[in-house]
Structure 1
């Protein structure tokens, strides 16, 4: 498939060019400078946006901040030219770098209540996971009343589906949906409790008027789209690895009595990280040089697109031990979070400020499932010792659940 072909092409590039960045031309005629060696990856992450600016893809999901589309219809990655004030607000609201969010109590309560939808039947698939997670997301961002707002849920679903922005009538319709969703979200923002993300944003303050709380709240809701996919993949991987599942379930059971430590779940977080290493939300990162730059002695003009194939590097058997195997324990190693080869949440200025919150929410959903149920059957069936597939379409995942 495409992922296999891409990995093979990158291996062939490295065989021809060694570790030096390779300049390639795509089928569309676009030229890319492809990074093949960890030192170049380190530079990619370390360069400021004044040197390497973001070139956001159509989709950049994951619990991160976003830069709104000029037309207001979509969201691109944060990583480029967002204002300092906006970034600071997102770091404060999402509690960047803090393992257990300050609003963990209400957030985990919402997750626990909505997780009942996951286990209401004897099986679990993407539509059920999305329903539960999206309800929880509306509660976490806007407050409990938003969970029942099916009209807002429908508008957000339409916005999620707008991968392309056609002109004419459809574009006007997209604008209309965006405006209706924004207005409804604004109503919730005005009455948001202090423990919601919207309430935290309102308390943060914005003397320069650079941050629009309604748009930020909408983007946080859209950003949580990564959670259902990652949740299903993580449970699928645990279903294929019974010992890992038993360890994670024991941690989930013990966490009930953890008191102030609730929300930490280090083993389950490692499982989620490993799932994202194997199946990253954003497999390729692209930046554009703002001025002339030099890579390994070769000068490249301003406007050069620089590609970091993150999915390839995270599963590169020449550089990553057990690259195609589910090994959550690797994330317990000192420095694993700073390992430049492994970047499920990126590094440097582009690191997702919502990484810890996203981990907490996803691990909590996994824990709620595993406390009372065991994943006893999966589709697709994975080989627990052989190489895992390069891609896992969440639409094709079916999990059989039995009560413990």
Structure 2
């Protein structure tokens, strides 16, 4: 074939199409298009840190600092964060955005299309113990589920789920817990004004009785120890000289919890943990079922914020308050409408505004592969109040939670979804609803501060410490 081309060239006769085609090397096959990761630039990273991650750290991940939260509420900090996240989503076409931070690689999920994968990945692949969260919680609950790994984590989670009755809408101890509410709740309505300080003390007593038993109700010393640990956890071991002191406080608190657990009433969470079959097995000491009590106390005591915000929202929405009170008066089982009010308050003001996980193996997001050890962030508050995805995103609309499959809507995840879903969801919502019902049985919430205008978009932050509620006898 080479000779044909040479001859044709020397004679001045062009080669035939057939000969030319046959002699030309085959064109290389097109290379597959490999998606490139969306990476935040320096300016974008700085803006994300200034408006989202730094405020979250300053606010406190495990114990909110009231003055900081009040300042953020006045400045509209949540609006800054939402604007940053919307801009990132628009610039990168909704793709997961890789942000480089002090703690390493962080993948931020900004489009609902990626949320389903986040919730569906197994916990062994997308683990809950992200480095920063682990650093903090290891001071609070070193033998807790979140600080555990592998088979030990799975067994501790199984015990935890069964103690909290995660799969049941009504806890087996509901009658005993309701009796505790009936005894403690009258303190909430003894005056014409209910402030957050009284609500916080009442909720703390109730929670200690539910978790540790009646003997722990007034243990303010234990409460102070736990507060010290939560504040230290906020620093995520950055204050190197404080770790040893915090561990000593934890040892005292853990010993006190064990004392209460040993004589707690059978219906309490620690008694249920001690009586679990795994607690009598050969690995009981390693599993430490009662070690999860620190997390139960931390999570359930945060109900004071939820109750305060829900009551304030009901004060601003009299029709919703009237419907909830009618349900309470009728003795409706499980109080579905009031529970919907609690869930809507959580959508608007989640107790955990960001969900952070860390990959234990290589994962792929929209065709881009990321190595093990990548932290993945779902800004849950942003998604739950995203006007582009959620109807009436900044309004109080409890009815949305009465629709079929509402609890499985991945756009809204006040308790997360999948393997990382909070096992105390039903217990927490029912306890909050029970407390609110106790107030509504004998009183109307006629006003509150800060004042909310139902005709306007609700504020991004409600500083619970500043909430004051006006009660009028019915």
Q: Is TM more than 0.5 here?
A: yes
Residue of structure 2 equivalent to 1:200: 272
Higher fraction of helix = 2
* Equivalent of 1:177 in 237, 244, 249: 249
**Alignment match, 1:191:** 263
* Aligned: 1:101 with 2:171: yes
Q: Distance in 2 between matches of 1:302 and 1:217?
A: 31
Q: For 1:106-117, what aligned pairs fall within 5 Å after superposition?
A: 106-117=176-187
SS in 2 for 1:224: helix
Q: Does 1:11 align with 2:81?
A: no
Q: CA deviation at 1:343?
A: 0.5
Q: Is the 8 A contact 1:97 1:355 kept in 2?
A: no
> Given the alignment of the two structures, is residue 242 of structure 1 paired with residue 314 of structure 2, yes or no?
no
Q: Deviations over 1:123-148 (max 9, x none)?
A: 12221111001100111111112112
- In 2, the alpha carbon distance for the partners of 1:145 and 1:50 equals 39
Aligned equivalent of 2:146: 78
Contact residue 69 and residue 75 of structure 1 kept, 8 A: no
SS of 2:287's equivalent in the other structure is: coil
Question: 2:344 touches 2:396 (CA, 8 Å); kept in 1?
Answer: yes
SS for the counterpart of 1:286 is strand
Alignment partner of 1:326 out of 393, 396, 406? 396
- Provide the C-alpha distance between the structure 2 equivalents of 1:182 and 1:288, rounded to a whole number of angstroms: 28
Give the drift of 1:344: 0.6
How far has the Cα of 1:242 moved from its partner? 0.2
8 Å CA contact 1:310, 1:343 repeated in 2: yes
**Are positions 1:279 and 2:346 aligned together?**
no
Match of 1:344 among 406, 414, 417: 414
Aligned to 2:199, the other structure's residue is in SS state: helix
Distance in 1, Cα, partners of 2:126 & 2:403: 30
Q: Secondary structure at the match of 1:78?
A: coil
Equivalent residue, structure 2, for 1:62: none
Work out which of the residue numbers 319, 324, 329 in structure 2 matches 1:253.
329
Q: Which of these residues, 225, 246, 250, is aligned with residue 301 of structure 2?
A: 225
Post-superposition shift, 1:234?
0.4
**Per-residue deviation at 1:30?**
4.4
Ranked by relative contact order (alpha carbons within 8 Å, sequence separation 6 or more), the top structure is: 1
Partner residue of 1:48? 122
Structure 1 stretches (4+) deviating beyond 6 angstroms?
73-77
Q: Secondary structure, in 3 states, of the residue corresponding to 2:352?
A: coil
Does 2:103 align with 1:23? no
Q: Please tell me whether Structure 1 or Structure 2 has the larger radius of gyration of its CA atoms.
A: 2
Checking the alignment, whether the CA contact within 8 Å between 2:207 and 2:301 is kept in structure 1 is no
Alignment RMSD: 2.3
Provide, for residues 291-340 of structure 1, a one-character-per-residue CA deviation record: whole Å limited to 9, x for no partner.
33221122223322221111111111111111110000000111101101
In structure 1, the partner of 2:465 is 395
Q: State the Cα distance separating 1:58 from its structure 2 match.
A: 6.2
Deviations 1:178-210, CA, capped at 9 Å, x for gaps? 222211111111111211111111121222224
- Which residue of 99, 109, 123 corresponds with 1:35? 109
Residues 67 and 77 in structure 1, CA contact (< 8 A), matched pair in contact too: no
- CA separation in 1, counterparts of 2:259 and 2:144? 25
User: Distance in 2 between the 1:76 and 1:191 partners?
Assistant: 21
| Aligned equivalents of 1:75, 1:342: Cα separation in 2 | 30
Q: How many residues align?
A: 390
- Closer, same or farther: CA 227–193 of 1 in aligned 2, 3 Å: same
What is the CA–CA distance in structure 1 between the aligned matches of 2:245 and 2:125, rounded to whole Å? 37
The one of 427, 434, 438 equivalent to 1:357 is 427
Task: Report the Cα distance in structure 2 between the residues aligned to 1:58 and 1:51, rounded to whole angstroms.
Answer: 18
User: Are 1:67 and 1:75, in contact at CA under 8 Å, matched by a contact in 2?
Assistant: no
Whether 1:371 aligns to 2:441 is yes
